[in-house]
């Protein structure tokens, strides 16, 4: 996805946004162009913000996989903003929370070293994994955002996760109808990073 438009005064310099995510950002089960990342591309164009969106999301991606791919993506694309939307698959597989936290911390550090701003995207998992695990998992995002001083989307699926009609048949992934709201959840935290 590429946009080449004249930026407004607030967005004078061209920006590159790298999305490092899992199936929720990779349009799993959706028609191409209907997921929130594609909608982000459209919104930037509508608002005449000179930006390029690179969707490096892969269905099934974990924090370890994202970390392994990130150095190459940073070197190739030189993003101004890195959106990290990962962790859900770690939790669904019951992986050690300490390992996930370390991977997040490393990805944030790698992005900062590459002079990119970071937007960390929070995720929650179903309560059937046990209250202690689910609460500790969710708390990792706010903890890392606070410690690393990066912007945080508290919960990617805010306003849609509690609506069964917005789930695909697998009860895990959202339908296309949910993705405009998902974009709104991200946009309010991303927009300030684009205008700096």
Q: Which of 75, 53, 38 is nearest to 179 (CA)?
A: 38
Share of the chain residues as helix, strand and coil, in percent rounded to the nearest 5? 50, 15, 40
- What's the rounded Cα separation, in Å, for the pair 192 and 110? 21
106: β partners? none
Give the chain's largest Cα–Cα span.
50
Q: CB neighbours of 52 closer than 8 A, spacing ≥ 6?
A: 1, 2, 3, 14, 15, 16, 17
Q: Which of the residues are catalytic?
A: 23, 170, 173
C-alpha distances (whole Å) from 43 to each of 47, 51, 189, 191 are 6, 10, 14, 11
- What's the rounded Cα separation, in Å, for the pair 183 and 172? 18
- The answer to whether 181 and 159 have CB atoms below 8 angstroms apart is yes
């Amino acid at each position: 996805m590429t946009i080449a438009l004249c930026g407004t005064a607030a967005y004078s310099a061209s920006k590159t946004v790298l999305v490092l995510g899992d199936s929720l950002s990779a349009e799993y089960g959706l028609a191409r162009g209907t997921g929130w990342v594609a909608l982000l591309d459209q919104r930037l164009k509508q608002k005449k913000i000179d930006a390029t969106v690179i969707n490096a999301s892969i269905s099934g991606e974990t924090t370890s996989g994202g970390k392994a791919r990130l150095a190459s993506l940073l070197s190739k694309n030189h993003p101004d903003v890195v959106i990290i939307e990962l962790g859900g698959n770690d939790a669904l597989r019951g992986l050690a929370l300490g390992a996930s936290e370390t991977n997040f911390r490393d990805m944030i550090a790698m992005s900062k070293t590459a002079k990119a701003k970071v937007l960390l995207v929070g995720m929650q998992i179903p309560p059937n994994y046990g209250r202690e695990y689910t609460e500790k998992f969710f708390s990792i995002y706010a903890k890392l955002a606070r410690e690393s001083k990066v912007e945080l989307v508290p919960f990617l699926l805010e306003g849609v996760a509690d609506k069964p009609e917005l789930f695909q048949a697998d009860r895990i992934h959202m339908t296309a109808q949910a993705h405009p709201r998902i974009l709104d959840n991200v946009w309010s935290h991303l927009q300030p990073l684009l205008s700096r």
